[in-house]
């Protein structure tokens, strides 16, 4: 039996980050990652395998990072945990002993209970190289692709799969608009317009009634009776926590079926921690359960768990939710709450918006339009969320907005944000969208 100070089950974003964090905080402790995958994929890079990149091999996290950080690796699947003996059993009959255990088992894609979902060419998106290679091979032989789900997975796959291919792509979304769980409706409309300009057909709101075919899918039947020709289907309707191992070990689960953790990422067993998609989450804003699953959230939780293994030093104050995507050449990003979400949570809000070039003057090379929309609580004027659309610098600007949300900055504090500007790098200090959006929110609040 091999004995280790720390064992991490799962080697993707959360598991790898937890192991590295542990080694940084406790350099004398031995750390082992046990994962079932021979190679680990970059989670958010998976859609780009089908367009920008040329193969799944270009989207792999190198194992050299383990050696660099003094982390051992075992490629096998853990089948059971003996919490009393602090041991793990694996599918090949090995046993490992631990002092502290981190569960980072991720999530599993959801498969809807739709007739024909088990046909050969109906694919869910898995973080598995052979599976992704099979998807790519099938895509390259397809003329008609139907994507079920218009969230991030669906929108990004549609945008990538169209590149360098003569293929008809249709997105079927049951909500009124694509990306509607992620952005306010007018921003979703911009995203849909861009998708349609790229030749992507969007059917929303619409439901899938069945996948038709004998062995392999040939068509997708919609609830309205229409049949869409399909050589391939991609299901992108979300994922669920992979908490099977934890449940088998009789660890407590939360209301969203994730592994129940406290604010230190500790499970109901003091010697076992959990982080990433498999762990239960609560909202930063109201402490209620959150179903957000993001690689950035997973690594944040992993940095908390890894640091707390042998002494509580970091606290998880809840999920803010920060994400971005790019369709064609337009970026879409959000941090915190959209206006819709803020209203659903009972906030009385005030909104500020500013738009303009991300360079100054606007005819500078690489200048592009950038729109910032901020939402504040009306009474306190504390920032609740922000959305950014346009230039690709939105991907970094949204992180600044997230920091403001975490620190509960007021509209006045955002308006007085000490920015640095340069003609070739940023918007003008006079028209800086972040500060001007805050000023517009203050104006709106004072006019009421």
**CATH code assigned at 284:** 3.50.50.60
- Among 211, 237, 263, where does a domain finish? 237
Instruction: Kindly state whether residues 230 and 265 are assigned to the same domain.
Output: no
Token code pair at residue 114: 């739709």
Instruction: Kindly state whether residues 200 and 278 are assigned to the same domain.
Output: no
- Among 185, 219, 237, where does a domain finish? 237
Per-residue confidence (pLDDT) for residue 448, from 0 to 100: 65
Instruction: Kindly state whether residues 102 and 143 are assigned to the same domain.
Output: no
Asked if residue 212 is part of any domain, the answer here is yes
Instruction: Kindly state whether residues 382 and 442 are assigned to the same domain.
Output: yes
Instruction: Kindly state whether residues 244 and 104 are assigned to the same domain.
Output: yes
Asked if residue 188 is part of any domain, the answer here is yes
Per-residue confidence (pLDDT) for residue 423, from 0 to 100: 95
Asked if residue 54 is part of any domain, the answer here is no
Asked if residue 222 is part of any domain, the answer here is yes
- Among 285, 308, 331, where does a domain finish? 308
Instruction: Kindly state whether residues 104 and 127 are assigned to the same domain.
Output: no
Instruction: Kindly state whether residues 438 and 337 are assigned to the same domain.
Output: yes
Asked if residue 55 is part of any domain, the answer here is no
Asked if residue 70 is part of any domain, the answer here is yes
List pLDDT tens digits, range 372-387. 999 999 999 999 999 9
Residue-number span of the structural domain to which 360 is assigned: 322-446
Instruction: Kindly state whether residues 299 and 249 are assigned to the same domain.
Output: yes
Asked if residue 316 is part of any domain, the answer here is no
List pLDDT tens digits, range 323-347. 999 999 999 999 999 999 999 999 9
Instruction: Kindly state whether residues 102 and 136 are assigned to the same domain.
Output: no
Per-residue confidence (pLDDT) for residue 171, from 0 to 100: 98
Asked if residue 196 is part of any domain, the answer here is yes
- Domains of the chain: total: 3
Instruction: Kindly state whether residues 327 and 436 are assigned to the same domain.
Output: yes
Instruction: Kindly state whether residues 218 and 256 are assigned to the same domain.
Output: no
Low-confidence ranges of the chain (pLDDT < 50): none
Tell me how far apart the alpha carbons of residues 203 and 321 are, in angstroms, rounded to a whole number: 27
Average pLDDT over the chain, rounded to whole?
96
Per-residue confidence (pLDDT) for residue 447, from 0 to 100: 82
């Amino acid at each position: 039996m091999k004995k280790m100070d720390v064992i991490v089950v799962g080697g993707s974003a959360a598991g790898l980050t937890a192991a590295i964090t542990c080694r940084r905080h406790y350099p004398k402790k031995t750390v082992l990652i046990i994962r079932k995958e021979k190679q680990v994929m970059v989670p958010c890079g998976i859609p780009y395998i089908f367009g920008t990149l040329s193969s799944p091999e270009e989207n792999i996290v190198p194992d050299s990072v383990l050696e660099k950080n003094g982390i051992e690796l075992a490629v096998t699947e853990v089948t059971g945990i003996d919490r009393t003996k602090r041991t793990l059993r694996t599918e090949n009959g090995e046993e490992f002993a631990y002092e502290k255990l981190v569960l980072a088992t991720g999530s599993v894609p959801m498969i809807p209970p739709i007739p024909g979902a088990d046909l050969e060419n109906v694919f869910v998106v898995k973080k598995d190289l052979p599976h992704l290679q099979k998807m790519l091979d099938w895509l390259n032989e397809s003329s008609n692709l139907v994507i079920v789900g218009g969230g991030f997975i669906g929108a990004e796959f549609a945008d990538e799969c169209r590149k360098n291919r003569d293929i008809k792509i249709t997105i079927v979304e049951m909500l009124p608009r694509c990306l509607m769980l992620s952005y306010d409706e007018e921003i979703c409309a911009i995203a849909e317009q861009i998708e349609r300009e790229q030749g992507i057909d969007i059917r929303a709101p619409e439901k899938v009634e069945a996948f038709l075919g004998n062995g392999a899918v040939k068509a997708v039947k919609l609830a309205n009776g229409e049949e869409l020709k399909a050589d391939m289907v991609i299901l992108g309707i979300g994922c669920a926590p992979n908490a099977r191992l934890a449940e088998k070990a009789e660890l407590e689960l939360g209301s969203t079926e994730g592994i129940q953790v406290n604010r230190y990422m500790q499970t109901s067993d003091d010697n076992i921690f959990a982080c990433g998609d498999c762990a239960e989450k609560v909202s930063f804003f109201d402490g209620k359960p959150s179903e957000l699953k993001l690689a950035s959230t997973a690594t944040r939780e992993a940095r908390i768990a890894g640091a707390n293994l042998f002494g509580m030093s970091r606290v998880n104050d809840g999920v803010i939710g920060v994400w971005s995507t790019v369709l064609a050449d337009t970026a879409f990003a959000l941090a915190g709450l959209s206006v819709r979400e803020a209203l659903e949570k009972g906030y009385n809000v005030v909104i500020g918006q500013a738009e303009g070039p991300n360079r100054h003057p606007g005819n500078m090379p690489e200048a592009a339009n950038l729109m910032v929309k901020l939402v504040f609580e009306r009474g306190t004027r504390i920032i609740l969320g922000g959305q950014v659309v346009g230039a690709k610098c939105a991907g970094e600007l949204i992180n600044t907005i997230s920091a403001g949300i975490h620190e509960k900055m007021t509209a006045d504090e955002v308006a007085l944000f000490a920015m640095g500007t340069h003609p070739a790098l940023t918007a003008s200090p006079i028209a800086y969208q972040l500060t001007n959006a805050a000023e517009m929110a203050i104006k709106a609040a004072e006019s009421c």
